[in-house]
Structure 1
Amino acid sequence: MDESADFQGTTIGVGTLLVVAVLAYGTFISPSVAGYEPLTLAGWIFALTLAAVAILHASVTQYDLAGGFGGVAVGWLFVLSGSGAQVLVGLAVLLVSGGYVVLVTRRRSRDAQSGTT
Structure 2
Amino acid sequence: MDETVDVQGTAIGVGTLVALAFFGYSRYINETILGLDAAMLATGAFAATFAAVGLLHGAYGRRDLALAHGVAAVGLALVTLAINGPQVLGGLVLLVASGSYIALVTIRARNTETQAAG
Q: Considering the TM-score relative to the shorter chain, is it more than 0.5?
A: yes
- In structure 2, stretches of 5+ residues that fail to align are none
Matching of residue 76 in structure 1 with residue 69 in structure 2: no
Q: 1:20 corresponds to which letter in structure 2?
A: L
Q: 1:111 corresponds to which letter in structure 2?
A: T
- 2:102 alignment partner in structure 1: 101
- 2:24 alignment partner in structure 1: 24
CA distance in 2, matches of 1:28, 1:89: 31
- 1:51 alignment partner in structure 2: 51
CA distance in 1, matches of 2:79, 2:31: 22
CA distance in 1, matches of 2:81, 2:28: 26
Deviations 1:70-98 (A, max 9, x none): 11111112212222211111111111110
1:115 is paired with a residue of what secondary structure?
Answer: helix
| Matched-pair contact (CA < 8 Å) for 2:79–2:87 | yes
| Matched-pair contact (CA < 8 Å) for 1:47–1:73 | yes
2:97 is paired with a residue of what secondary structure?
Answer: helix
Question: Considering only aligned residues, what root-mean-square deviation do their CA atoms show, in Å?
Answer: 1.8
Shift of 1:34: 2.4
TM, length-normalised to structure 2 = 0.88
2:6 is paired with a residue of what secondary structure?
Answer: helix
Shift of 1:31: 2.3
Deviations 1:39-81 (A, max 9, x none): 1110111101100000010000011211211111111122122
CA distance in 1, matches of 2:76, 2:105: 20
CA distance in 2, matches of 1:18, 1:97: 23
Aligned residues: 114
